[in-house]
Amino acid sequence: MISLREVLMRAEADKVAVGHFNFSDLVSFNAIVAAARDRKLPVMVGVSEGEREFTGVAQAAALVKAVRDEFGYPVFLNADHTHSIAHAETAARAGFDEIIFDGSALSFDENIKQTKKAIEAIKSINPSILVEGEIGWIGASSAVIDKVPEGVGILTTPDEAKQFVEATKVDVLAPAVGNMHGMLASMVHGNVQKRLNIERIAEIKAAAKIFMTLHGGSGTNDDDFKRAIKAGMTIVHVNTEIRIAWRRGVEAGLAADPNEVAPYKILKPAVEAVRKVVSERLELFSSK
């Protein structure tokens, strides 16, 4: 099967992006894979440290392997926002395709130091695993929040990106470019959207010269998504939108038949809700 690196190289050449969607249960996982297969597009699925604690590390890897074995489908597993080398090593041994070592809460110099150590540990287990590093603070939770977290909005500079990449030899870079984890309540219930600094994305891409990831994509303006991808973003993360769709789908399933107790019947609307969000985002990200 084609490797994740090859998929990203093709996406970069075509000026499109690979969609990355988080899951923490079978409902979201199956919905993400179904949407990708419908669109005939490669897809990345991610589990954060908290999500891995719920799903199981080996179990998440087994789900992805099952899809590959049965369908030969290019679905790739990412250890999203990993904060310790020990957790990174666990994911590497389980067979993850990418690991994000997130030292963005550390000082810049300490982030470089710890990321270098993580890369060495991960690559010693499997050299083909892509390792992503993150610089710039964009918040920490894929949740609906009332206000922008303190420190969000300070953009990564091209010089920082260049220095970080050269020092760590990281495979993928996640910068702060106006993006933010989670969604404001006004984004969920109103017309407010996240806006990105497209010029800064292009400047960082020119300085870093590696694959780049846009984290915190939920609630972003569609045109900004397209322009960000053309400017150099090769992976786009969406999680909060998935969680909201899941929640609304579960509520719809319970409301449709309050006496139903079979989970696979109650959860059908949740599958369809998540599938719809993923399908729409994949179409947008793959648009040329």
Which amino acids are annotated catalytic?
80
The pair phi, psi for residue 262, each rounded to 5°, is -80, 115
